[in-house]
Amino acid sequence: MSDQLFIGIDSGTQGTKGVIFSRETGLILAEASTEHELIENIGGRREQKPEWWIDACTDVIDRILSQTAASRNQVCAIGVSGQQHGMVPLDNQGDVIRPAKLWCDTETSSQCDEITARVGRPEDVVELIGNSIAAGFTASKILWLKQHEPRNYDRLAAVLLPHDYINFWLTGQKKTEFGDASGTAYFDVKTRTWSQALLNAIDDSGKLQDCLPELIGSDEPAGTIKSEIAERFQLNPNVIVSSGGGDNMMAAIGTGNVVTGVVTTSLGTSGTIYSYSDTPVIDPNGELAAFCSSSGGWLPLVCTMNVTVSTELTREILNLPVEELNTRASAAPAGSEGILLLPYFNGERTPALPNASGVLFGLTSTNYRVQNVARASMEGATLGLRYGLDVLRKQGLTPTEVRLVGGGAKSSLWRQMVADIFACPIVCPESSEAGAMGAALQAMWCYLNQTEGKVALQELTEKYIKLDESTRAEPEGSTTERYDEIYQKYLQLNKMMAPMFQEP
């Protein structure tokens, strides 16, 4: 039997990445990436034209197919990972009505409050769907469209999430799966159904119910590729497109986070920390995003807004290249000789301090040194993620190992710092493209379920997700104890500063 190949696409805010993965060798045979533009303004607008994603996908697929000597007929399935929460409005011809509002768009913040008020109290919303209505989620974007662009809203015939739109381009089918649907704020994560109460709170005319895509399971296909797609890329017309999912859900698959006990942490511009669960995990305080996974279970997740934001801003102000920042930080002791940074440069989501700003605390004439400030920029971001880990722990999710991804994970100093602050072993996957890799593996899972009988996704992740043991870091006892003390000071400083962070 000839080798079977699977394409994984990861369409994010900054760009699109793609890989071709071999079932036989377990290797990525080719990879490529391209960047996206962004529409933004000072009022919080963050939008992209969906046609840009399609152009990027076309470019990436062309390049990865041309990089491998294997036959294009060996491609069996495609999986798509996409940025969560975006709103892609389509008319009754399937054409895009206006640019998509993205997860990072804050122009619709007031609509979050309005929808919540129509339901009742914030806790009533959590009771109904398992989540609060966060500014990034899709629900408020739809109400914003209705209020600010009524003519466009009148044309609305379908609302798709970004990865669903790419699947629609590939297959002509309007479908979505439970993981990505969890981030809309009109989906009940407990029953895995659309919430009529929340849809009515957005528009009580009943219009929205007819605009929603069909819900499918994570192991089901969205469809097969359209004939014109097969011709365009010279692929077999029977290529399956899997359900796909949101970027965090697919990165969970790409890091082997499909069983309890594993936690994935991303040291990216912002930070995420999440773990697999066999049952819904609802946080009554709303600090935890209660998502479904794209692997058949649930994926409770915490997001912080400032991780490499902290180190990049510090590096710029100190005028240091990345390597030098790392070297300087390595020269400082754990705790940065008493300097503590609350890195809330973009406000903060967890803890819930949206109007917060950065605080550099504990400066003296003897500790105000480049190496201490450099290290504090890493420690402050990691302490914020520790807060997120404790939110997970409060819900009974105790990690046995943390899989670390993102740009910050390239630093051996930062990896050890995470192990010490989390008091947990950490390790990085061999592939740094967790989203695209997860999409390719989900595509394989879907294909095998369709052609060879039921296969457990865990079997595939255990076989194909390889860990880079050279990156492994174990917590060091005395340093962990020191960081426990510092973490308590971090909590105190948060509490003390919270009143100062309120809107004037």
3-state secondary structure 309-370: HHHHHHHHHHCCCHHHHHHHHHCCCCCHHHCEEECCECEECCCCECCCCCEEECCCCCCCCH
Extract the tokens encoding 13: 């805010």
Burial class (CB in 10 A: 0-12, 13-18, 19+), 341: buried
- Greatest C-alpha distance within the chain: 71
Extract the tokens encoding 64: 């990865």
Phi first, then psi, for residue 79 (nearest 5°) are -125, 145
Tokens 């076989």 locate to 463
The residues near 121 (Cβ < 8 Å, ≥ 6 apart) are none
d(CA 397, CA 391): 9
Count of CB atoms situated within 10 Å of the CB of 150: 10
- Residue 197, classed as helix, strand or coil, is helix
Cβ contact 27:21 at 8 Å: yes
The residues near 99 (Cβ < 8 Å, ≥ 6 apart) are 39, 47, 48, 49, 50
341 Rama sector, left if φ>0, alpha if ψ -120 to 50, beta otherwise: beta
d(CA 239, CA 61): 14
- Catalytic entry in 105, 180, 188, 247: 247
d(CA 79, CA 441): 8
CA atoms within 13 A on the CB side of 155: 14
Extract the tokens encoding 228: 């014109």
Is there a catalytic annotation at residue 55?
A: no
Residue 130 CA: distances (Å) to CA of 15, 187, 447, 450: 31, 9, 31, 32
Catalytic (active-site) positions: 247
